[in-house]
Structure 1
Amino acid sequence: MATTTTTPINETAAPVLGTSAKTTPVILTEPAIGKVREIMATQDPIPAGLRIGVVGGGCSGFQYSMSFENQSGMMDKVFNFDGLKVFVDATSLMYLNGCVVDYVETLEAAGFKFENPNTKSTCGCGSSFSV
């Protein structure tokens, strides 16, 4: 008996950085995917996916936000990064087009790093940006 796999209409299979990056507006690197999965595994209950967004605030006008979600919203675009669902609302998607989210660990710090080609400037501490 043959089985078929269906993808929800609003879900897009997203490539990992290094593959055809032009097919999705937001890219997560392999280290970022791995770290998100690691953190998700410690949650009870385990969330359905990661929400990435842009919110007003900070000294430059906008800040990135990341949180776990149990389901997508009606206006969300859902990307699938090797089984990891990433939810992005329509407004944030405008600001995140072409953005690469990476996870970096150095001797000084560790955390998620957003490389966004849409930013015109960032604040001194790097936690907010303007477009």
Structure 2
Amino acid sequence: MTAPEKVTGVELTTEAADKARALLAQEGRDDLALRIAVQPGGCAGLRYQLFFDDRTLDGDLVDDYDGVQLRVDKMSSPYLMGAKIDFADTIESQGFTIDNPNAGGSCACGDSFS
């Protein structure tokens, strides 16, 4: 049996889902979803936003990762198809990372893409 197709087109790794679940538990909130969005800005033209959100927007695409909802708005969806959200906790870096095959180029700091 194969896993169901994800409607957001974005993969949330087990590590990222576990970290999001831990952060939500720490906040004591069960009404929040992890939202990834693309907004204009940054030196490369587009900027990622990754945050907890209690809103449901018209046209949201939603996937569930063992109790962690991942939401993508309909305007951001085409920019994020095939993207993968991971969480790293190493000496070199700590935090959520986004690997997006649609990004044609990115800035030196990694905060924005084109």
TM-score, reference length from structure 2: 0.88
Question: 1:48 deviation in Å?
Answer: 2.8
Q: Max radius of gyration: which structure?
A: 1
Given that 1:77 and 1:87 are in contact with CA atoms closer than 8 Å, whether structure 2 keeps it comes out as: yes
Question: 1:20 deviation in Å?
Answer: 5.0
- For structure 1, the residue ranges without an aligned partner over 5 or more in a row are 1-18
- For structure 2, the residue ranges without an aligned partner over 5 or more in a row are none
Give the fraction of aligned pairs with identical amino acids, expressed as a percent.
38
5 Å-filtered alignment, 1:10-49, equals 20=3, 23-24=5-6, 25-49=9-33
Question: 1:57 deviation in Å?
Answer: 1.1
Distance in 2 (alpha carbons) for counterparts of 1:96 and 1:56: 14
Distance in 1 (alpha carbons) for counterparts of 2:68 and 2:24: 10
Higher RCO (Cα < 8 Å, 6 or more apart): 2
RMSD value, Cα: 1.7
Structure 2 residue 97 is the aligned partner of structure 1 residue 113: yes
Question: 1:63 deviation in Å?
Answer: 1.1
